[in-house]
Amino acid sequence: MSIKRIHIIGGGIIGLTTAIQLQQQGYQIHITAAAISPSTTSDIAGALFEPIAGTGPAEKIKEWSSSAFQKFYTLSENKETGVVVTFSREYFCRKVEDPCWRDSVRRFRKLSPSEFPNSFGIQDGYVFETVVLNPSTFMAWLWKDYFKNGGTLKIDSIDSLDEVLKKSTGFDLVVNCTGLQARFLCNDPEVYPIKGQILRVWAPWVTEACCFLEQKSPSSPVTYIIPRGDGSVVLGGLFRTDNWDTTIDWEIAKEIRERCIQLVPQLGTAEILGHSCGLRPWRKNVRLELVQPKDSNSLPIIHNYGHGGSGITLAWGCAGEVGEIVKSLNSTRPQSKL
């Protein structure tokens, strides 16, 4: 089959990076999205490059992460992208094994007990060089690149995949990057929300990220501090499973701030800039696969959703795999723009 025009549904980080990857391979791309930046979950992400525990499959996460990290590290050389190189320290209340993604980042090492903060009863930890994004800056840069390369956009909600998959739409392929909405569009109960909540403070003296994971139970709080590279710092967080509430919980906001001050006492004087919350599109395993048309009047579709809290971390790696799938489908591939 010959693929030239591709319809991507979903305008968050997954849909947009997939679109740009396919543009670079020479395809004509159109995006339909219910919302775009600055009104997506991607815009309020902590945006530290690190695969989050619980997202799988592990071997693919390692592969996608490694590919994505190299891309982000290159992008950090361009200040317009909002991508900044930093260090991240992670602390635990028990001994832990090295994460499967340790080789995807740079300068990974275990911390010695003398490097642990005097709080939370910390028993183990590690530090590594990574990247952090200012999400809105990065998303704006991606959209600029997308439109520059001829991409088109329609703001509209998608209520049914059947309509999108009709050959009469004028496209040759659909890529589904709808995140949490895939639960309903694909009738996929494995997709569910995990509510997150953060606050932003002004603390230009914080130059490294740090995180404490209690890991006593799935509902244990996670405490993280992530500098954005512009003087603002994200304080989090919250992992509330199967919760669809998108309103700020002010008691939780107070608790987040107090926990972060325990970890970094200097944050006690930081000015609060704002609060945000959003729903992570969680799934035990990311769904990235091709589904062939069910009849002669339908289009093939590639599903690319279920990235949980690792959307930014996995985006470029998953986009690259989508690109490989399209390449394998296309017997008369258009010439690459690169």
In tens, the pLDDT along 134-164 reads 998 999 999 999 999 999 999 999 999 988 9
Distance CA 20, CA 91 (A): 36
Proportion of the chain above pLDDT 70, given as a percent: 94
The pLDDT tens digits for 123-140 are 999 999 999 999 989 999
pLDDT at 218 over 80: no
With 0-12 / 13-18 / 19 or more C-beta atoms within 10 angstroms meaning exposed / middle / buried, residue 298 is middle
Q: Identify the band that residue 186 occupies on the pLDDT scale cut at 50, 70 and 90.
A: very high
Average of per-residue pLDDT across 304-328: 94
Q: Identify the band that residue 215 occupies on the pLDDT scale cut at 50, 70 and 90.
A: low
The pLDDT score that the predictor gives to residue 216 is 52
Task: Work out whether the CA dihedral 31, 32, 38, 43 comes out positive or negative.
Answer: negative
Q: Identify the band that residue 205 occupies on the pLDDT scale cut at 50, 70 and 90.
A: very high
H/E segment holding residue 312: helix 311-329
Average of per-residue pLDDT across 19-23: 98
Distance CA 109, CA 119 (A): 21
The pLDDT score that the predictor gives to residue 43 is 86
Residues 6 or more apart in contact with residue 296 via CB below 8 angstroms: none
Among candidates 270, 309, 282, which has minimal Cα distance to 49? 309
Average of per-residue pLDDT across 260-277: 95
Among candidates 318, 50, 12, which has minimal Cα distance to 136? 12
Amino acid at 148: K
pLDDT at 79 over 60: yes
Mean residue pLDDT of the chain comes to: 90
**CA 278 to each of CA 36, 147, 283, 293, 335: distance values in angstroms, whole numbers, following the listed order:** 14, 27, 16, 33, 39
Of 114-118, 175-179, 255-259, the least confident: 114-118
pLDDT at 335 over 50: no
Proportion of the chain above pLDDT 90, given as a percent: 71
The pLDDT score that the predictor gives to residue 66 is 85
